[in-house]
């Protein structure tokens, strides 16, 4: 009951902060004159104000209503709804992420269970891990020669390291007496991995997966700005080229919302696999 009350208070405080922030933002934007109120000089000079200024929240909310009321329209290559653009981005993220998970988790098990494998692979991991994912983009475009697959490759390369390292750390940290009990019962190495090591290491593995999905969503925006075509990153860049700051701010907010939802999904998974001794 106490936790529920605290959650309600926190939610009300968040809403209050949002309202106050929007009011301050709205009040800080100079009011635009109506066309009939402009002098001839102001009409010639763009209303005496910068043509592209920071829009107030009211304009951003209006743009959000316009875009979200029909998010899946397709009026040509450079005019697609926000739902379609986000869909392309999520597809790329999940494809690269799934490929990374398929390699990182089994390899992390191997590294965590074998000191020889750890010593052999650790130098390569330490060299490749600090490289910015976007630094791989020119090479990917040259080798793969496909912008779609290049973006997926960049997501793959940025997603693999947190999952690999966390999996190895979680597997290596499993209590030795649990593994000894499995050996006492003459369980095979494969059965020990699935029935003893995996459940014990699952919280750490999911933490790595959660970190990876956040990094992947960050990187896809920048990658799509480079490769263009479709996706939320391309949408942001295209609206900036059109000097439509209202759409830019709206798309930034949508990036944050989608990122929050992805993180919340893995947060729920993390709570599901958590255990208490």
Average pLDDT, the chain: 83
pLDDT for residue 247 is more than 60: yes
Query: Which structural domain range is residue 233 located in?
Result: 83-277
35 lies in some domain: no
CATH number, domain at 265? 1.10.3720.10
210 lies in some domain: yes
14 lies in some domain: no
Q: How many domains does the chain have?
A: 1
Closest by CA to 262, choosing from 35, 136, 19, 94, is 94
39 lies in some domain: no
The pLDDT tens digits of the residues spanning 103-142 come to 999 999 889 888 898 889 999 999 999 998 889 988 988 9
The pLDDT tens digits of the residues spanning 25-75 come to 888 876 554 444 445 544 444 444 444 567 888 888 888 898 889 888 888
116 lies in some domain: yes
Q: Where are the alpha helices (DSSP H) in the chain?
A: 2-28, 40-44, 57-68, 82-113, 115-128, 137-144, 147-172, 176-184, 189-192, 198-227, 232-241, 245-273
178 lies in some domain: yes
Name which residue leads in pLDDT, 50 or 234: 234
233 lies in some domain: yes
What is the model's pTM?
0.84
242 lies in some domain: yes
């Amino acid at each position: 009951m106490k936790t529920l009350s605290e959650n309600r208070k926190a939610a009300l405080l968040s809403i209050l902060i949002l309202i106050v922030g929007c009011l301050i933002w709205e009040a800080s934007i100079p009011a635009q004159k109506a066309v009939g109120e402009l002098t001839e000089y102001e009409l010639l000079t763009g209303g005496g104000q910068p043509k592209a200024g920071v829009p107030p929240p009211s304009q951003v909310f209006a743009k959000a209503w316009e875009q979200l009321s029909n998010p899946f329209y397709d009026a040509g290559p450079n005019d697609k709804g926000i739902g379609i653009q986000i869909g392309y981005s999520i597809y790329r993220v999940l494809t690269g992420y799934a490929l990374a998970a398929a390699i990182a988790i089994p390899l992390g098990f191997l590294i965590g269970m074998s000191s020889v494998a750890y010593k052999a692979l650790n130098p390569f991991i330490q060299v490749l891990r600090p490289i910015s994912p976007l630094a791989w983009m020119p090479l990917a475009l040259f080798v793969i020669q496909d912008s779609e697959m290049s973006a997926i490759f960049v997501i793959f390369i940025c997603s693999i390291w947190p999952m690999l390292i966390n999996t190895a750390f979680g597997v290596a940290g499993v209590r030795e007496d649990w593994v000894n009990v499995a050996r006492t019962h003459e369980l095979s190495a494969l059965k020990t991995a699935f029935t003893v090591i995996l459940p014990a290491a699952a919280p750490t593995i999911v933490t790595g997966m959660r970190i990876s999905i956040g990094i992947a969503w960050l990187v896809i925006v920048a990658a799509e700005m480079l490769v263009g075509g479709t996706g939320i990153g391309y949408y942001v860049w295209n609206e900036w080229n059109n000097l439509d700051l209202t759409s830019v701010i709206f798309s930034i907010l949508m990036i944050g919302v989608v990122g929050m939802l992805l993180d919340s999904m893995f947060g729920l998974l993390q709570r599901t696999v958590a255990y208490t001794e």
